[in-house]
Every structure is written in C-alpha cells, then in structure tokens.
C-alpha cells in the first residue's frame, strides 16, 4: 500500500503535526511509500511529489516536524472544478494515483479543502476506483461544522490570548488615556477574536471590548462605547475581528482607503479595520490611539503552540489513516468532546459533505448581552484548547525548523 498526503489553505502552527500523524500512522499501518504533494492538489496536478520516507528518515526529523509551523509541504488555494463540467483534472489525478500505486489520499486543510476530498471521492466512486479519500481538518478559524474544534485553533488562540496580556501590560504603563485596537483574523466567524477573552484573569483585567463578525457593527455605536469606557478607565484595549461588518453587509475595512485586492477564491483582502477605527477614535474622541494587526503571526507562531493542539493535530492525522485503512472514503476526521471538566476529546469520522463549504459561527448565547464580551460558556469551551506548551528546539537562540529542500 502506498499513500499520499497534501496540505492546503492557510498555514497553522500545528498543520505539520497532522502531517507527522498521517506519516507515522501510515508507516505503522504497513504503507510502503508515503508520498507528499508539494503545494497541495495544485502541485499534484503537475506531478510535484516528494517521497516522505526519504525526507523523514529519522525520529528527530519527525519530532522537529511536529514543532515546525506553517505547511512543510507547501500549500495552495485551489478549488477543483465540478467533474460534471470538466473531468480533465480528475483524470489527471487518478492517472497519477494509479502510476504511483496510491490507495489512500489525505488532505489537510479547511472547509475549502474538504471540498476537494468530497469531489475526488465522489468522482472515484463514479469511476469505480477503490482509492480512499480522507480529510484532515485544520484551520485557525475554527469554523468547521460537526467537529468540536479544529486543530490549529488552540495554538492561534494561545497566541492571541498571550499577546493580548502582553499588549495590555504595555498599554497601561503610562497610566494615560490610550485606546489600543487589535485586529484579529476571522472573516465570518469570530472564534479567534473571541479567544482574546481568555486573557482576563487574576493578573490581567483583560480586553475591554470584543467585536465579532457575528454581530452587525456600526462605527457610531463603537465610538459611543469607547467614549463610555473612557470615563472609567484610561487605557482601553479592544479586540476586533478583521471581518466585522456594517448592517448593510460591507466590511468595516472597506470604509478605509486601503489598496484592496482579492484572492483566488474571490475573497476580499481584509485589512485595515483596526487602523480605520483607531483613526476614527483619534479624530472624534481626541484621544491617543494605536492600531495593531496580529497579521500572519497569529497563524504561524510555532514558538507558542499549544501542546494540546499539537497532540490533537497529530491524533487527527493518525485517525485519518485508520479510517482509510478500514475502507472509509469521502470522510473527514472530527474531534468529539467527551467532557469539559476534565477536558477529554476523542476523534470521530464524518461524511465530508457535512463539513465541506459550510462555516460554523459562534453561538449567539456565548456572546454577552451588550455584544462586547464572551460568556463563561465560551471560556469553558476554549480554555482547555490552549493548555500546555511544546517548545521548539532552540538552536543558537532561535527555533529550528525542518524544511523541504527545493
């Protein structure tokens, strides 16, 4: 048995832990060759393939892989056309699977990537192929259906909450009036922005306001709330999702004059929300402001990964192999929470069509009445996911990473 694995979509701190999980479970299940697609399905279509048995030929490299952020195999944002309109790409993929004698196909990615698994398995079924296709969820956005949470989210949440604590400390040292607005990723679902609520504790007042894309946003309402808070407190720190939207559906960042562009899925590039709001506060409230974008740091900060997240990412990779070996196809692996206190999760298997192309938003009852903070239920949900650390291997003062030579 040979197998192939690819990575797709935005990087995370633990996407390679899932790759390690797939690799080791495949070898343990008797796979002779474990291939990797370079740059996901887009690379596979031009036969860019690497033999992982050669690249990961000792245990230290596999451990290093678990502690290396951002897709080791490279990534892509590529959506297969429907095979009802054009089978060219499908024929190409299946001819390559035949050529390399591949029986199982694993794809580590978000909801766009689960679409690839859904389409390939459906096409395979149609042509009578017995190759199994299994999705391995990952995304910092945590917006996949069915699964309790997605690998990648815990580490990004740990980065957000840690960074928020540090930003709050920094912003309060002068004791002067200051509004700090921190922009966090999340186009339609505010899971990662909500993670800033984890900063609050005995040693930290926490953020003063959280603005989620789930809640329609008005600039006037925002300014009014800031002005209210300023009456009680000098330094105010606000977490705002890049995806906050006006009641008419436009993104708040569209109000700014930023150069915009669009990615290959047609998604608008969202950036500048915090800066726009900070400028509005400065102008209208005559206050000092600072805008901070956590940018790509929040999705690739391997140095601050959650050990819980790394462990689960690894388990989800392994569970995908077991599912494929047992004959399942067109499925994705889920994390099913057994209990909150103590936290326990196990892996599950679900029809990939129940995940592909859907988005899971934050339940409205987890947001407080004034739409400025998270309820305890959210904290109980998210806190276990950021527990414990697995530090990088530091070499000469810096985290050492494993890389795929060109």
Residues annotated as catalytic are: 141
Q: Which is nearer to a second copy, 79 or 383 (CB)?
A: 383
Q: How far is the CB of 299 from a second copy (least distance, A)?
A: 7
HSE-CB at 76 with a 13 A cutoff on CA atoms is 18
Query: Among residues 73, 125, 115, 52, which one has the least CA distance to residue 94?
Result: 125
Q: Which residues pair with 137 in a beta bridge?
A: 109
Q: How far is the CB of 166 from a second copy (least distance, A)?
A: 4
Q: Which is nearer to a second copy, 171 or 333 (CB)?
A: 171
Q: How far is the CB of 145 from a second copy (least distance, A)?
A: 25
CB 302 within 8 A of CB 399: yes
Left, alpha or beta for 327 (phi > 0: left; psi -120 to 50: alpha)?
left
Q: How far is the CB of 267 from a second copy (least distance, A)?
A: 13
Q: Which helix H or strand E contains 394, and what residues bound it?
A: strand 394-395
Cα–Cα distance for residue pair 257/276, rounded to 1 Å: 9
Q: How far is the CB of 96 from a second copy (least distance, A)?
A: 19
Q: Which is nearer to a second copy, 11 or 186 (CB)?
A: 11
Residues whose CB is less than 8 angstroms from the CB of residue 89 and which lie 6 or more positions away in sequence, other chains included: 45, 80, 81
Distance of alpha carbon 51 from the chain centroid: 26
Q: How far is the CB of 231 from a second copy (least distance, A)?
A: 17
Cis amide prior to 294 (ω within 30 degrees)? no
Q: Which is nearer to a second copy, 81 or 283 (CB)?
A: 283
Distance of alpha carbon 128 from the chain centroid: 34
Q: Which is nearer to a second copy, 204 or 255 (CB)?
A: 204
Q: How far is the CB of 321 from a second copy (least distance, A)?
A: 23
Sign of CA dihedral 373, 377, 379, 382: negative
Query: Among residues 211, 203, 270, which one has the least CA distance to residue 237?
Result: 211
Q: Which is nearer to a second copy, 17 or 323 (CB)?
A: 17
Q: Which is nearer to a second copy, 96 or 199 (CB)?
A: 199
Cα–Cα distance for residue pair 359/364, rounded to 1 Å: 15
Q: Which is nearer to a second copy, 174 or 358 (CB)?
A: 174
Query: Among residues 266, 272, 204, which one has the least CA distance to residue 243?
Result: 272
Which residues are at the interface with a second copy (CB under 8 A)?
Answer: 7, 11, 39, 68-71, 74-77, 158, 161-163, 165-167, 169-175, 198-199, 201, 203-204, 257-259, 261, 278-279, 282-283, 288, 290, 292-293, 295-297, 299-304, 306, 383, 386-389, 391, 394-403
Cα–Cα distance for residue pair 98/297, rounded to 1 Å: 40
CB 240 within 8 A of CB 219: no
Distance of alpha carbon 165 from the chain centroid: 21
Angle between helices 153-172 and 307-325 (to 10 degrees): 170
Query: Among residues 111, 135, 139, 107, which one has the least CA distance to residue 43?
Result: 107
Q: How far is the CB of 67 from a second copy (least distance, A)?
A: 12
294 φ, ψ to 5°?
-75, -15
């Amino acid at each position: 048995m040979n197998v192939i694995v690819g990575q797709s979509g935005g990087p995370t701190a633990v996407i390679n832990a899932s790759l390690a999980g797939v690799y080791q479970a495949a070898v343990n299940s008797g796979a002779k060759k474990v291939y990797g697609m370079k740059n996901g399905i887009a690379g596979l279509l031009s036969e860019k393939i690497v033999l992982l048995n050669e690249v990961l030929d000792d245990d230290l490299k596999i451990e290093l892989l678990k502690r290396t952020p951002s897709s080791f195999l490279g990534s892509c944002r590529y959506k297969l056309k429907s095979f009802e309109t054009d089978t060219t790409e499908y024929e190409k993929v299946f001819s390559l699977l035949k050529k390399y004698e591949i029986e199982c196909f694993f794809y580590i990615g978000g909801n766009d990537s689960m679409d690839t698994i859904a389409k390939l398995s459906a096409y395979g079924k149609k042509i009578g192929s017995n190759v199994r296709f299994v999705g391995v969820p990952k995304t910092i956005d945590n917006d996949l259906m069915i699964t309790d949470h997605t690998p990648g989210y815990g580490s990004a949440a740990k980065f957000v909450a840690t960074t928020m604590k540090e930003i709050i400390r920094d912003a309060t040292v002068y004791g002067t009036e200051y509004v700090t607005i921190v922009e966090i990723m999340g186009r339609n679902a505010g899971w990662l922005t909500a993670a800033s609520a984890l900063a609050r504790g005995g040693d930290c007042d926490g953020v003063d306001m959280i603005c989620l894309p789930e809640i329609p946003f008005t600039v006037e309402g925002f300014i009014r709330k800031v002005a209210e808070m300023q009456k009680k407190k000098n330094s105010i720190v606000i977490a705002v999702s890049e995806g906050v939207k006006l009641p008419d559906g436009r993104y708040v960042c569209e109000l700014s004059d930023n150069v915009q562009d669009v990615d290959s899925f047609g998604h608008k590039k969202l950036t500048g929300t915090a800066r726009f709001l900070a400028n509005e506060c400065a102008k209208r409230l005559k206050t000092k402001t600072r805008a901070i974008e956590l940018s790509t740091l929040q999705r690739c900060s391997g140095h601050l990964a959650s050990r819980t997240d790394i462990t689960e990412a690894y388990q989800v990779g392994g569970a995908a192999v077991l599912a494929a070996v047992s004959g399942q196809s067109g499925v994705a692996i889920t994390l099913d929470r057994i209990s909150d206190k103590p936290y326990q999760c196990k892996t599950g298997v679900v029809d990939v069509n129940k995940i592909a192309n859907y988005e899971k938003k934050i339940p409205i009852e987890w947001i407080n009445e004034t739409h400025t903070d998270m309820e305890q239920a959210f904290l109980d949900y998210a806190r276990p996911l950021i527990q414990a650390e697995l530090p990088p291997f530091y070499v000469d003062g810096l985290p050492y990473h494993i890389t795929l030579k060109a």
